[in-house]
A and B are shown apart, each in its own frame.
Chain A
């Protein structure tokens, strides 16, 4: 089964035998891959009932819940990794969710669509319209992405919070890209963070 590129990247870098909390785990594709490939003890949190049912039906421990509300019950340091893929921009309090992730997990993987990709910029610059792209397919009024973020924003944010970037990967045009020019050329970014 093919994983979404950002998930494949995360799966590649999770150390086998570790404990993972996948926040916004969807139908559990990443969890299933981690469990079968690297003997990872993966737990999931997901908002959408149909996704949760699908994930549980494949035998995964996934609970229905909201990243903005339901992370408080997890004890400090109870996971090696907290993963938030393509979900940060949909949360009400992205900064608070990230705090919780680094409380619960020793390390945090965060992936998000880059709002400063050139297609998005063009759409705004020439069309004067909120971009509707393959990656951001919804219209402005029905998008779940309420906190759009760019790679530049995220780097600054991580710096302000004094977090350590253990790794950063950028995806654009179906391939991995270097860090230089990523804010213009990458559609997706994946960061691996820890507290100092």
Chain B
């Protein structure tokens, strides 16, 4: 008899969950997937945390777009995280729109979608929701928690929130706090959404979303995921399907056309209100602030090992942010590994082919055995 808790496209009704903002969600829905087999001691579980607009389909095709899982370069047969050895869990974060509780979920108090009545959440709330899921799956201690970008914030927050429930954390292209610049870019995106008349204070019908605003938000954010050298290499000043400039405001340049495409394809798969809530959670993230203003204090109670990876062309969460975390880990006496890898692809590098990243993650995960 197969255990209904394990497999692809799973769903759990959990809760209650008390949130950092003071509210309590009586029911927390979590959509998730598992790969591989949980061993008899429940000691081989690896939790993968996704980024801002990611989802639980880390190594299985996306149901709406049909694209392969978003981290098949790192997760899969023969990869550093291998279902043949690991019990892999990936859950849609709290506040998102791929099946977990978020602003598009039904508010039991009204019978209608929460929209802006959904409580503001934090990265730690996401982590606590994952904690409920891990309980539900019968896992006491995670062998590792692994994430890039916002997933890295969760991976960092895990040992700080549950010091004795995780043995290793892999934090890739991430940060322990959002800087003013990070917040500023997110605010541009939020304002674009809220300035769209179709947003209607958040109460838009599902089939009439503020698509124009969300697309602009995505375009602005997408620039921060790339690097200048990457954009120059890919597009330069090349024109899009024309011989000369059009002296108008069509997408003359390839880079414009590319960004418009990124924006338009994004609105088909993502909810505008979820975008507001999750960017807010990231902006609120400051792990040191949660621990009396000292980052090292966040790590002192845990015996977990840490592995950090940054990319030299990532200006969203540059190497200096990882180094800041490493200094705090050293101060706390935590075993830490850290390397800055070279890539022309900016922040997005963590999602792309990187043999060096794979070697580092593989060695780090095996090193704990």
Contact = CB atoms under 8 A, between A and B. Distances in A.
Chain A complexes with chain B: yes
A82 to B, nearest CB: 13
A64 interface: yes
A64 B339 contact: yes
Nearest to B355: A53
B337 A56 contact: yes
Contacts of B342: 49
Interface residues of A, number: 21
A56 B327 contact: no
Given A56-B307, A56-B364, A65 B339 contact: no
A94 interface: no
Contact of B337 (A62, A73, A74): A62
B368 A70 contact: no
Contact of A53 (B308, B360, B368): B360
B331 A70 contact: no
Band of interface residues on B: 20 to 34
Contacts, number: 71
A59 B326 contact: no
Given A43-B335, A49-B339, A78-B333, A59 B359 contact: no
B138 interface: no
Interface in B262-309: 305, 307-308
A59 B341 contact: no
Nearest to A61: B335
B321 interface: no
B333 A53 contact: no
Contacts of A61: 305, 335-337, 367
A74 B330 contact: yes
Interface string A59-75: 11111110000101111
B339 A56 contact: yes
A75 B297 CA distance: 13
Contact of A57 (B305, B338, B362): B362
Nearest to A60: B367
A185 B367 CA distance: 41
Interface of B: 305, 307-308, 323, 326-328, 330-331, 333, 335-342, 356, 359-360, 362-364, 366-368
Interface of A: 43, 49, 52-53, 55-65, 70, 72-75, 78
Given A56-B337, A78-B333, 10 more contacts: A56-B360, A56-B363, A56-B367, A58-B363, A59-B366, A59-B368, A63-B338, A64-B340, A65-B323, A74-B331
